[in-house]
Amino acid sequence: MTPVALGLILAAAIVHATWNYFLKRSGGGPVFVWLFASLSALIYAPLAAGILWWQKSGFGWIHLGLMLASAVLHTAYYLLLDRGYRGGDLSVVYPLARGSGPLITMLCAVLLLQERPSAIAVVGALSIAGGAVLLMGDPRKLRRSGNHHAVGFALLTGCMIAAYTLVDKVAVAAYLIPPLVQDWAANLGRVMLMTPMALRRKTDLMPVWRRSRNEIIAVATLCPLSYILVLTAMVFTPVSYVAPAREISILVAALMGTQLLAEGDTARRLFAAGAMVGGVILLALG
């Protein structure tokens, strides 16, 4: 991996953990997701239009299909992640969601494709699983804290991460869709998919905006930026390197959750998050 790619991915990891912190702090909800997606589409529209004009890109049905697939997967991702945060801690949901994606991908490859991972990859998978168990802690305390329902949403989020990463890699690397355009188009698609829901809850729009305006603006700005940095790195870097490296954000988010949101169990949660990061790296090496 080149220094440029590594720099892009590390910057993206910090930005990604930061917008997740703001999402968790806001209280979230589907209306919140629609509002920040709509604002993102407006903020980044001039840049997307400028890139399309400069490159004079011509898109066929396959390009539009990849954008639509990304929009659907990202919509599911944001709604599941938001639902997890409304029921669980940032330092629990974020590491499980981010760390489970590579593990789920490997398990599917073994069970469905009959692949045989190396010993290093198996150790990595066990490290992720062990970190996840340690992160969840005592099941009785997990239930009392309300995090037990959030675990399922975090794991489903991990499935969406694995799926949209592969789709977007194909879009920017094989079909040469500019990273910012791919992200903006997926975001616009998400707005369109969620607009019927927003119209049904139109009485909630202004109250949510007034309550969480700063968080909406922060997430709308930082969320696309974090993924655009990742997509840019994926243009010239194998996804098998990019996906694990960006999971350093697990540690950043765990630190934010335990320190800024006072979620407790700092030592255990940071150690568990570190074990999951190490496991992801071993999966990449294996």
- Structure token pair of residue 67: 């954008």
Instruction: Find, among 212, 260, 154, the residue nearest to 30 by Cα.
Output: 212
- CA–CA separation, 273 vs 255, rounded Å? 9
Binning the chain into helix, strand and coil, the percentages to the nearest 5 are: 90, 0, 10
- CA–CA separation, 97 vs 27, rounded Å? 18
Going residue by residue through the chain, which has 286 residues, state the pLDDT in tens, using 9 for 90 and above: 678 887 888 899 889 889 989 988 888 889 999 999 999 999 999 999 998 888 776 788 899 999 999 999 999 999 999 999 888 888 778 888 877 776 676 676 667 656 676 788 778 777 776 776 676 665 555 555 556 677 888 889 988 988 888 888 888 888 888 888 998 999 999 999 999 999 999 899 999 999 999 999 999 999 989 988 988 887 887 766 676 677 777 777 777 877 777 767 777 777 877 777 787 777 667 6
Global pTM value: 0.79
